[in-house]
Amino acid sequence: MPGAGHQIIDGERRVGTSGQTHDVIDPATGSVVESVDLAGAADVDAAVSAAAAAQPAWGGATPGERAAALTRLAGVLADRAEEYAQVETSQTGKPIKLTREFDVPGSIDNVSFYAGAARNLEGRAAAEYDGTHTSMVRREAMGVVGSIAPWNYPLQMAVWKVLPAIAAGNAIVLKPAELTPLTSVMLAEDCLAAGIPAGVVNVLTGAGRVAGEALLAHPGVRMVSFTGSTPVGKRVMEVASQTVKRVHLELGGKAPFVVFDDADLEAAVHGAVAGALINTGQDCTAATRAYVQRPLYDAFVQGVADLMRTVRLGDPRDESTDQGPLVSHAQQGRVAGFVDRARTSGAKVVVGGQVPGGALAAGAYYEPTLVIDAAQDSEIVQDEIFGPVLVVLPFDSDDEGIRLANDTPFGLAASAWSRDVVRSMRASREIQAGCVWINDHIPIISEMPHGGYKSSGFGKDMSQYSFDEYTQVKHVSVDITGEVRKDWHRTIFGDR
């Protein structure tokens, strides 16, 4: 692509005008992967203008034309899959087997899903509800969408934002997280390579408080889609309210993992360790609080401890590595802080709870960690840690298990483990979360919605439901009487 810099605006690479740069760091080694220029407010203006100029033609293309471009995009991404996996691993520290088998294929599948979904957008069928008008509902694009993404799944989050927006005929300005912008820039380039017109997908690598806030405040942006932490989500709503934008928020999580006493213990133990440690625990749906009914509690803690000790920390580029570093040393400090404070307030660390030394000392590593005996109202049970830490607590009655599962401000995801269909169905109904797994924890699928209850936000990513965020519906009402004086005019003209 012509041009220098990391901003993709109107189909060109440009250098961000903030005058600042940010070094993308490999958290496994601390070395610089790439120095990235940062966008300023002028770049936000330019990107929003480019999006506004490109949107009418893109929104006016037939669903079939948009679907064809998205299908080509899936092909371009598949051709570069290994490159994407390597870059994603460099900027996040994710094990290469995770980026190769999960992040990249999951993203490509999502692109393919939206290629199909683009052809299935519809308003509801027409009818004559009062006998004198034919009503129909048009589903229309919002216009220009501004999206802000987090660092934990950079490519997937970019795809989850960009694809429903453009499949529905919007143009988008995406701001990835400062720590992990590289695969979002690649995605914008690949949109162009696939024949998606310049200006439809713009990417700004900028700081949250600068480019992010300018995007939220920009009067040319009609909708904001944000994935990130709950505190920043509150700020997003506040800024977006000034220009009455539609807001879609995918925020933090603190997923409960409820094990009833008839559960398959071995399956629950495996599910808990994998569900807690995926992506080094930096997953908004990760299992963070396991509530285990008293008869299984001791065996569950023992089983999790034994299995956690087998998880291999190491170089994320090594195919045998199970868990890489956290995304940054700041995140490592945050995770260690939670565990250290829990320890001093009476909780017991059964496994891990340390920053490893030796060959891993230079990276942002943290050991897989199992904590017990924490109080339900302590911060390690209530707040999002975003690290490889599982807290296990006992419960007695089914009522208590479900009550504890619901006892945080979050409601993104949860799982319940039981062989009893009545218990499982009750848990799926009564746990307040946007997703409840039964006898598993983590799998997501493009056809199904992802999004929170309570302080985990509102609105859905993925699936046909995402179009409820990225489109607006219009009622069109057509008079079918042809009368000059309509019956309802009596209220104005009286008997004349």
What are the residue numbers of the active site? 250, 284
Residue 130 token pair: 């009062």
Q: At closest approach, how far in Å is the CB of 485 from ligand NAD? A: 54
> Contacting ligand NAD (CB under 6 A), which of 412, 433, 442, 444?
412
Q: At closest approach, how far in Å is the CB of 188 from ligand NAD? A: 15
Compare residues 70 and 444 and give the one whose CB is closer to ligand NAD.
Answer: 444
**Could you tell me how many residues make up the chain?**
496
Span interacting with ligand NAD, options 41-49, 91-99, 170-178, 271-279, rule CB under 6 A: 170-178
> Contacting ligand NAD (CB under 6 A), which of 36, 104, 115, 149?
149
The answer to the question of residue 470 lying near ligand NAD (CB under 6 A) is: no
The answer to the question of residue 151 lying near ligand NAD (CB under 6 A) is: yes
The answer to the question of residue 384 lying near ligand NAD (CB under 6 A) is: yes
Compare residues 190 and 213 and give the one whose CB is closer to ligand NAD.
Answer: 213
Compare residues 15 and 217 and give the one whose CB is closer to ligand NAD.
Answer: 217
Compare residues 325 and 452 and give the one whose CB is closer to ligand NAD.
Answer: 452
Q: At closest approach, how far in Å is the CB of 477 from ligand NAD? A: 38
Nearest residue to 185 (alpha-carbon basis) of 94, 78, 72, 83 = 83
Span interacting with ligand NAD, options 119-127, 144-152, 260-268, 423-431, rule CB under 6 A: 144-152
Q: At closest approach, how far in Å is the CB of 410 from ligand NAD? A: 9
Annotate each residue in 200-229 with x if it binds ligand NAD (CB under 6 A) or - if it does not, as one string. --------xx--xx--x----------xxx
Q: At closest approach, how far in Å is the CB of 435 from ligand NAD? A: 10
- Report CA dihedral (451, 115, 136, 460) to the nearest 10 degrees: 0
Compare residues 177 and 269 and give the one whose CB is closer to ligand NAD.
Answer: 177
Compare residues 315 and 461 and give the one whose CB is closer to ligand NAD.
Answer: 461
Question: Hey, which residues between 299 and 338 contact ligand NAD (CB under 6 A)?
Answer: none
Query: Can you list the pairs that 265-271 forms with residues at least 24 positions away whose Cβ atoms lie under 8 Å?
Result: 265/296, 265/299, 265/300, 265/303, 266/303, 267/417, 267/439, 268/292, 268/296, 268/300, 268/417, 269/300, 269/303, 269/304, 269/307, 270/307, 271/415, 271/417, 271/439, 271/440, 271/441
Compare residues 103 and 250 and give the one whose CB is closer to ligand NAD.
Answer: 250
Q: At closest approach, how far in Å is the CB of 247 from ligand NAD? A: 12
Q: How far apart are CA 366 and CA 361, in angstroms?
A: 10
Residue 120 token pair: 């299935």
Compare residues 95 and 281 and give the one whose CB is closer to ligand NAD.
Answer: 281
Q: At closest approach, how far in Å is the CB of 234 from ligand NAD? A: 10
Q: At closest approach, how far in Å is the CB of 133 from ligand NAD? A: 41
Residue 87 token pair: 């870059």
- The residue count for binding ligand NAD (CB under 6 A) is 30
Compare residues 227 and 293 and give the one whose CB is closer to ligand NAD.
Answer: 227
> Contacting ligand NAD (CB under 6 A), which of 232, 296, 335, 404?
232
Q: At closest approach, how far in Å is the CB of 214 from ligand NAD? A: 9
Compare residues 148 and 196 and give the one whose CB is closer to ligand NAD.
Answer: 148
Span interacting with ligand NAD, options 21-29, 104-112, 175-183, 373-381, rule CB under 6 A: 175-183
Residues 105 and 88 sit within 8 Å (Cβ to Cβ): no
Annotate each residue in 424-463 with x if it binds ligand NAD (CB under 6 A) or - if it does not, as one string. --------------------------x-x---xx------
The C-alpha R_g of the chain, in whole angstroms, comes to 25
> Contacting ligand NAD (CB under 6 A), which of 155, 173, 277, 284?
284
The answer to the question of residue 27 lying near ligand NAD (CB under 6 A) is: no
Span interacting with ligand NAD, options 53-61, 64-72, 142-150, 351-359, rule CB under 6 A: 142-150
Question: Hey, which residues between 247 and 266 contact ligand NAD (CB under 6 A)?
Answer: 250-253
Residue with tokens 């170089």: 315
The answer to the question of residue 469 lying near ligand NAD (CB under 6 A) is: no
> Where along the sequence are the contacts to ligand NAD (CB under 6 A)?
148-152, 175, 177-178, 208-209, 212-213, 216, 227-229, 232, 235, 250-253, 284, 384, 386, 412, 450, 452, 456-457
